[in-house]
Structures are given as structure tokens and as C-alpha cells.
Amino acid sequence: MRQLASKSLLQDRNEGHLDMMHREIDEQEIIERYVRNQLSPEERRSFEEHFFGCEECFEKLRTTERFIAGMRDAGSRGLLEGSSADAAPERTWASWVFPALAASSCAVVALAVVASWTLLFQMPRLRQQLSQASADLSAQREAIAALQKQVNSSTQAETNVPLVMLQATRDVQAAPNEAVLPAGAGHLVLWVEMPASKFRRFRLQVETEDHHPVLSLDHLERNSYGALAVGLPAEQLKPGEFRIMLSGEEPPPASLLAEYKLRIRKS
């Protein structure tokens, strides 16, 4: 019984000490000063030792950081008339923010902060990603056009060499890649976007739908665009469907990287 009483007394003291520390943190605006980098090194170290083990203070710190960052950015963009985050009173912020978080209006404040964060940070990042994807697509089209021009110029007796971009798929029901070989075509150029891998050289194997080997090309390397561009003799590609396997060759051991389906039609 004495041991239980001692443990209960110790727990009450610890909880009392924690409540006193939280009051001091609120009264001295420790969290806001921490975010604003206004604490002394000793105060900062003491507070960090506390909030790493205190879920309540950790959540308040995260909320404060998001709020101040949103207010600063909104002020810098002129969204707040006649004020900015840095012009806010230094000693009165904590006196109304934390009670507001405990009240029903906390939901409105939090929603506004999240909406501001999404508008000010997420949307520009998404626009940047979209612009980058558009630029990559344009570069790919230019590369294909350059390859087509190179093939046409290097084959005096053959112009308008057909080219097909292979798209890998694991869906057996997916439609195959399709290429149309005009009459008199000597070659079909395959453009293969390379998956990320450790391999420097590759092997491309072509077989019929019933697994009859057609041809195999070894020691292939990426071009300057990071893709494989391979010319296949049209005379070996009869109308029908083919299975194309891309394998990593060097460094060994060899490994299958992707499979493609190709349907050949002749005009």
C-alpha cells in the first residue's frame, strides 16, 4: 500500500510539474518565440527536450509554424490589407490563438490555414510539374522527329521510314502497339523508352505470337535521349502480331525488363 501511495504521489507531482511547465510555455509565449527564433540557446535546448516527448506541445508547435508561415506569405503577397505577419503584435498572439484553438472557431481557422497553404504552395508546385511534363513531351517529339530525319537521310533508297513507339503493359487484354508498313518499306524503327535499371547494354528479342523466334539484337545501348532506337528489316515482319522482349544484358546476370505487343499491318 505504501508503494502504491508513493507511486500515486510521484505521478501527481509529475503531472503538476507538467501543468506548471505548460502554463509557463503559454505565458512566456515560448512556442511563438521558438518559431520566430527568438529564444536563447539555453531556452531553445530546454524547450526542444520537452516538446520531443510532449504530444500536446508538439502539435501546438506544428500549428503555430503553419499559421505564421501562412500569415507571412499572405502578407508578402498583399492578401492582408494594411498588415503582414511580421507586423503582428509580439506579445498578444498566444493570448488569443490557443483559446481559439480550444473553441469551436478553431475549425474555421485551421481550414483557412490549410486552404491558404494549398493555394500558395501546392498550386505553384503542381503548375511547375505540369510545365515540366509538357517540356519533356516536346523534347521527346523533337527527338523522334530528329531520328526520323536521320533515318530518312541515311537511307537514300528509302524515305518516310515508319516508326512506332512501344508502350509496355502487363494487361493481356490491352491493345497491342500497331505499325503500318507501306509497300516497299525496308525497315521499321522501334522507339523504346527505357525503364530505370542498372544495365548499360540490352538485348531485344522478337518472336511471333506463337513463340516462333524472328530475330534478336544484342549489345544495344541507349541513345542521347536515354531511349533505344532500333531498325528492324521489314521483310521479316509479316502481317500479324509479335511479342517483343527487352532484357538487360550487361552487367550480368541478364534480366527481363519489359515486354511489348506489336501488330503489323501493311498498306
pLDDT tens across 170-189, in order? 666 778 888 888 887 888 89
Question: What integer pLDDT is reported at residue 61 of this predicted model?
Answer: 80
Q: Can you tell me which residue has the cell 498583399?
A: 78
Q: What is the pLDDT of residue 170?
A: 65
- How far apart CA 200 and CA 220 sit, in angstroms, is 8
Contacts (Cβ under 8 Å, ≥6 apart) of 251? 198, 199, 200
| pLDDT (tens digit per residue) in 155-173 | 455 567 888 888 776 666 7
Task: State pLDDT tens for residues 115-151.
Answer: 666 666 667 777 778 888 888 888 878 878 777 776 6
Q: For the chain, which ranges sit under pLDDT 50?
A: 1-10, 12-13, 83-92, 104, 155
Sequence spans of domains, the chain:
2-103, 159-266
Beta bridge partners of 240: 264
State residue 164 phi and psi, 5-degree precision.
-135, 135
DSSP string across 113-163: HHHHHIIIIIHHHHHHHHHHHHHHHHHHHHHHHHHHHHHHHH-TT--S--E
Q: What are residue 36's phi and psi, to 5 degrees?
A: -80, 0
C-alpha torsion 148→154→160→164, nearest 10: -40
Q: What number does CATH give the domain 159-266? A: 2.60.40.3350
Q: Tell me, what's the pLDDT at 204?
A: 93
Give the neighbor-by-neighbor strand order of the sheet with 213-220: 177-181, 255-266, 240-250, 201-208, 213-220
Asked if residues 188 and 164 have their Cβ atoms less than 8 Å apart, the reply is yes
Q: Under the phi-then-psi rule, with left for phi > 0, alpha for psi from -120 to 50, and beta for the rest, what region is 82? A: left
**Neighbouring C-beta atoms of residue 181, cutoff 10 Å:** 20
Q: What's residue 90's pLDDT? A: 47
